[in-house]
Structure 1
Amino acid sequence: MSYKVRSIHADEWPQAKSLRLAALQDPVAHLAFLETYDAAAAHPDSFWRERAAGSAEGASDAQQIIAEGPDGEWVGTLTVLMEEAGTTDWAGFPIERKQGHLVGVFVQPGHRGIGLTEVLFDAGLEWAWAQGAERVRLIVHEDNGRAQRLYRKVGFEPTGITVPLPQAPGESELEFAIERE
């Protein structure tokens, strides 16, 4: 089987929308994503067009990378958001240096366990380093052991930072990061 890993194009918003909605229907979506299927499905097409344009090939603040299966079907994705030093992140934490933030990691169940996620991570890290990131981080739910094992496998380590989840009192997420070599 051959897969193609690449950045999306702005006009591919319908495919980006479809893959996101599939991700939000995954059995562990409640641990993996801060958005629900119902909330995402309610967004108008203009939202998906803007989202795709803002993370398409050539954008410098974000990049959505996808894996296409042998038949051209989108079977995996991740997005890298660039965060600038001196700003604050979505949770109100200060950003101390330029970094990438990996979000929206998803691979269709039938394509897991074959190394595809690792290839997506390699592409995301390569893009972040090319944008001048000094480190790349991600946030993972404290109860999502499967994802934590994967992130460690691809070189990410816990930083000790815990992010409380306002929408789920008593629950939190953990920051994992990798430094530029």
Structure 2
Amino acid sequence: MSEYVMRAVRADEWEKVKELRITALKDPAAPVAFLENLDQAEARTDDFWQDRASGASHGRHARQFVAEAPDGQWVGSVTVLVEEGGTTDFFERAVERTQGHLVGVFVRPEQRGTGLTEGLFAAALDWAWSLEGPALERVRLFVHEDNARAAAFYRRFGFRATGEVLPVPADPGAKEFEYVVPRP
């Protein structure tokens, strides 16, 4: 893993952001890992991808981190969204505390189990904990009830289930479980 660089995306890298997201949505685990499907992503305009990369490259609202191979290929990604206390979240619920929300976790299948996910999470959490005014109290994520592999990784990385359970927006019969890691 040491030859890989964990870094934030740059605004001009929208084509790589798009390529990695579409690759992630082609993965067999995508239906239980993402709230977006391949058809939705492929239908998005270049302007959408440009805005997405720009918005995740600077400022406080969001930051996307990638694992970059020596040849420049992106082999994994995770995004931190900042949810400010007093706002509403993706699920249209009140956000009681200022917190991070990890989304879009993906590592190419041939790189899984190599430590890249740990490296991505470390970079994402380092950034999240560095924020001030106000500082994040915790970082959370949601995991689909059928995504045991991801849940096991999150627990190994220090995330703990809160007991909060939400229906999956596209499939209200399915559940997502909230996991959090408190500010160190």
Q: Common fold, TM-score beyond 0.5?
A: yes
| Whole-angstrom CA distance in 1 between matches of 2:21 and 2:48 | 13
RMSD of aligned Cα (Å):
0.9
Equivalences for residues 115-130 of structure 1 within 5 A: 115-130=115-130
Task: Look up the SS of the partner of 2:28 in the other structure.
Answer: coil
What is the aligned partner in structure 1 of residue 162 from structure 2?
159
What is the aligned partner in structure 2 of residue 69 from structure 1?
69
Residue deviations 1:101-144 (CA, integer Å, cap 9, x gap): 00000000111101110010011001111122110000110110
| Whole-angstrom CA distance in 2 between matches of 1:89 and 1:78 | 18
What's the CA shift for 1:100? 0.3
| Whole-angstrom CA distance in 1 between matches of 2:169 and 2:48 | 24
Q: What is the aligned residue count?
A: 180
- Pick one of 165, 169, 176 that aligns with 1:173: 176
| Whole-angstrom CA distance in 2 between matches of 1:103 and 1:166 | 15
Residue deviations 1:148-176 (CA, integer Å, cap 9, x gap): 00100111010100111232131110000
What is the aligned partner in structure 2 of residue 32 from structure 1?
33
What is the one-letter code of the residue matched to 2:109?
P
Task: Look up the SS of the partner of 1:24 in the other structure.
Answer: helix
What is the aligned partner in structure 2 of residue 81 from structure 1?
81
What is the aligned partner in structure 2 of residue 53 from structure 1?
54
What is the aligned partner in structure 2 of residue 139 from structure 1?
142
Q: Is 1:104 matched with 2:104?
A: yes
What's the CA shift for 1:22? 0.3
Task: Look up the SS of the partner of 2:59 in the other structure.
Answer: coil
| Whole-angstrom CA distance in 2 between matches of 1:9 and 1:99 | 23
What is the one-letter code of the residue matched to 2:62?
A
What's the CA shift for 1:93? 2.1
What is the one-letter code of the residue matched to 1:180?
R
Residue deviations 1:26-52 (CA, integer Å, cap 9, x gap): 001000000000100000000000000
| Whole-angstrom CA distance in 2 between matches of 1:6 and 1:166 | 31
Give structure 1 regions of 4+ aligned residues with deviation exceeding 2 angstroms: none
What is the one-letter code of the residue matched to 1:9?
R
| Whole-angstrom CA distance in 2 between matches of 1:166 and 1:137 | 18
What's the CA shift for 1:90? 1.1
Task: Look up the SS of the partner of 1:169 in the other structure.
Answer: strand
Structure 2: state its 5+ residue gaps: none
TM-score using structure 1 length: 0.97
Residue deviations 1:1-21 (CA, integer Å, cap 9, x gap): 610110000000000000000
